[in-house]
């Protein structure tokens, strides 16, 4: 594992990523004043898409068919509106 001080990272970030990608460096340990701050590692070969990206793609319509909205779902709308009257 290679160790790099934080001030060295900013101007050399692209080159450090190239070390990970092309030269097979296993990980970079990023330090501040000699103390470990973060570890930058290559992803596993089979890691697939990032979770946030996968969730973002599936979000709309994910609950379709999972529940039924009752017919009287909004029957208390006027009562709730009255309770908040003057507070908004």
53 is a domain residue: no
Give residue-wise pLDDT tens across range 62-77.
788 888 888 888 888 8
Domain assignment present for 57: no
Which range of residues forms the domain containing residue 16? Answer: 2-44
What's the confidence (pLDDT) of residue 86?
A: 67
Q: Is residue 12 part of a domain?
A: yes
Query: pLDDT tens digits, residue range 2-53?
Result: 777 777 777 878 888 887 777 777 888 888 888 888 888 877 666 666 566 6
Tell me the whole-structure pTM to 2 decimals.
0.43
CATH number of the structural domain spanning residue 28: 3.40.1620.10
Q: Where are the strands (E) in 1-88, listed by range?
A: 2-5, 27-32, 35-41
Total tally of structural domains belonging to the chain? 1
């Amino acid at each position: 594992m290679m160790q790099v001080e934080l001030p060295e990272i900013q101007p050399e970030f692209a080159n450090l990523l190239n070390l990970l990608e092309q030269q097979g460096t296993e990980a970079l340990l990023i330090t501040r004043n000699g103390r470990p701050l973060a570890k930058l590692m290559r992803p596993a070969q089979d890691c697939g898409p990032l979770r946030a990206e996968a969730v973002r793609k599936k979000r709309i319509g994910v609950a379709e068919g999972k529940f039924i909205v009752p017919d009287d779902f909004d029957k208390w709308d006027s009562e709730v509106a009255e309770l908040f009257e003057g507070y908004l």
